[in-house]
Amino acid sequence: MRINSYASTGQAIQAPFTFYYVRDNDWSESHNWDYWNKNFTSAASVDNTITTKTIYDPSVSGFTLPRTAAFTGFSSTGDYTNNSSQFNVSGSFNQGFFFYTNGWKTGSTVFFDALGFRDTYSGRSSGTGAVAYVGENGSFWSAGACSASLGRFLGFGSGLVNPQRWDYRSTGHTVRSVSE
């Protein structure tokens, strides 16, 4: 079910299969900084602050969402790039990337699949709340927020890597809900 409305945390917990969204904003009435990391009390800079699990963290028991700086090694800049020579990947994009995990172009790799994202923009054919851009874009959340309504995540596609993305506006997509 999709509902274009703000929701309280309690309301969202009681309806886990409902996708709450507010176009170009986030779904939460309370804008808690610490949904996924008990240590956050304001917008988080990109750093390696230890993530302390909360009851809202969507990770399975024993795991937490990655630190905000977890993906910065996936580009030579540590930030957004659309220059493929700055992608820390093995091979080329094939519905995802094999990112190096032990420094620049060395060591082991891990595959990040382009699983798409929940789309909050109702003007696209995918429809509001649908999973969009499967095989084209990947979005993997980290534990930090960069504002009261925007979360941080790794965003990538065949022509870009952004290890600390918070918004798809630069690529024509809009992802603004931290409820995904």
Of 82, 54, 53, 44, the C-alpha closest to 166 is: 44
Q: Tell me which of 55 and 111 has the higher pLDDT.
A: 111
Residue 172 pLDDT level (bands cut at 50, 70, 90): very low
Residue written as token pair 């927020």: 145
Instruction: Look at residue 171 and give its three-state secondary structure.
Output: helix
Helix (H) or strand (E) holding 113: strand 109-113
Write out the two tokens for 81. 């790039």
Residues 73-129: tens digit of each pLDDT = 999 999 999 999 999 999 999 999 999 998 899 999 999 999 987 766 655 555 566
Of 53, 32, 56, 55, the C-alpha closest to 44 is: 32
- Helix/strand/coil percentages in the chain, nearest 5: 10, 30, 65
- pLDDT value at position 178? 34
Written as one letter, the residue type at 102 is N
